[in-house]
């Protein structure tokens, strides 16, 4: 469990995405920001060195945070090294991001997959708080991100949006971007989501699904249409989950 920190020692979370970078100091006692989050555009090109400069500037605007820094990355992360880069500069592949950011900022920095960070936050503070067994958190956006958390412990880099379902990569048909680009009705999209989540049921037999991403704000339009055996609920932390989960990951 997180230990109580004095205000000056509080961790910071940074949510690094393909278009924007957001940062905030986090109170891990309650799983929330201590002040308004900061946001800036992701540099173009989004090389590791250019992003590190942005992080230094953002941390300079958070004087109440001198604790560890957690950073979400939209890619596979193993032992602080980034192994994929679908929506960021290809020079990230093979980069030891933990070492790079720690050196650039002078802080203790740890990177984590963005969906994994959201999953940790939802299990500790959000929709899956207090739930035992396997919880699968999915984020429905441009693609489908996923996090597997078993009894509070993260199984990292699950990347379940890339599963093949009915002959297609799941996220190419069931992500929110597919709903928008194909102008699907809620009912049509729900059929695809049902096929996707039923595949996850067969593979993992989870206790709970949590659905995040911006579209989770409209969960009442599509979750009741899904035909599943497993309970499925909308995420609670929404756009705070990545930052909160990153700070939690860096601290623990």
Rounded CA separation 39/2 (Å): 26
pLDDT at position 18: 85
Domain boundaries, given as residue ranges, for the chain: 12-117+240-251, 130-235
pLDDT at position 7: 62
Of 163, 157, 179, nearest to 113 (Cα)? 157
User: Which superfamily does 12-117+240-251 belong to?
Assistant: ATPase, nucleotide binding domain (3.30.420.40)
pLDDT at position 6: 60
pLDDT at position 116: 97
The reply to whether 12-117+240-251 and 130-235 are identical in fold is yes
Buried-state track 100-112, b at ≥16 Cβ within 10 A, e below 16: bbbebbebebbbb
pLDDT digits (tens, 9 = 90+) for 152-194: 999 999 999 999 999 999 999 999 999 999 999 999 999 999 9
Structure pTM? 0.91
Helices (H) and strands (E) in the chain, counts: 8, 15
Per-residue pLDDT of the chain (252 residues; tens, 9 = 90+): 444 556 668 999 999 988 899 999 999 999 999 999 999 999 999 999 999 999 999 999 998 788 999 999 989 999 999 999 877 899 999 999 999 999 999 999 999 999 999 999 999 999 999 999 999 999 999 899 999 999 999 999 999 999 999 999 999 999 999 999 999 999 999 999 999 999 999 999 999 999 998 899 999 999 999 999 999 999 999 889 999 999 999 999
Q: CATH second-level architecture of 130-235?
A: 2-Layer Sandwich (3.30)
pLDDT at position 87: 77
């Amino acid at each position: 469990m997180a230990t109580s920190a004095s205000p000056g020692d509080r961790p910071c979370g940074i949510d690094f995405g393909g278009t924007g970078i957001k940062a905030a100091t986090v109170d891990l006692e309650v799983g929330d920001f201590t002040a308004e989050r900061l946001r800036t555009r992701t540099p173009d090109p989004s090389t590791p060195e250019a992003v590190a400069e942005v992080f230094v500037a953002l941390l300079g605007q958070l004087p109440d945070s001198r604790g560890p820094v957690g950073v979400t990355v939209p890619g596979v992360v193993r032992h602080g090294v980034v192994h994929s880069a679908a929506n960021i500069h290809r020079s990230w592949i093979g980069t030891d991001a933990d070492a790079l950011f720690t050196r650039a900022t002078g802080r203790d920095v740890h990177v984590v997959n963005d969906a994994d960070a959201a999953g940790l936050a939802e299990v500790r503070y959000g929709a899956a708080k207090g739930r035992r067994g396997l919880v699968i958190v999915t984020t429905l956006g441009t693609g489908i991100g996923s996090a597997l958390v078993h009894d509070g412990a993260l199984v990292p880099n699950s990347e379940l949006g890339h599963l093949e379902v009915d002959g297609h990569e799941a996220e190419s048909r069931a992500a929110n971007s597919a709903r928008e680009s194909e102008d699907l009705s809620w009912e049509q999209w729900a059929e695809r989501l049902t096929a996707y989540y039923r595949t996850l049921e067969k593979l993992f037999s989870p206790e709970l699904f949590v659905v995040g991403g911006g579209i989770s704000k409209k969960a009442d339009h599509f979750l009741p249409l899904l035909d599943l055996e497993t309970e499925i609920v909308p995420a609670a932390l929404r756009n705070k989950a990545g930052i909160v989960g990153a700070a939690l990951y860096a601290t623990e």
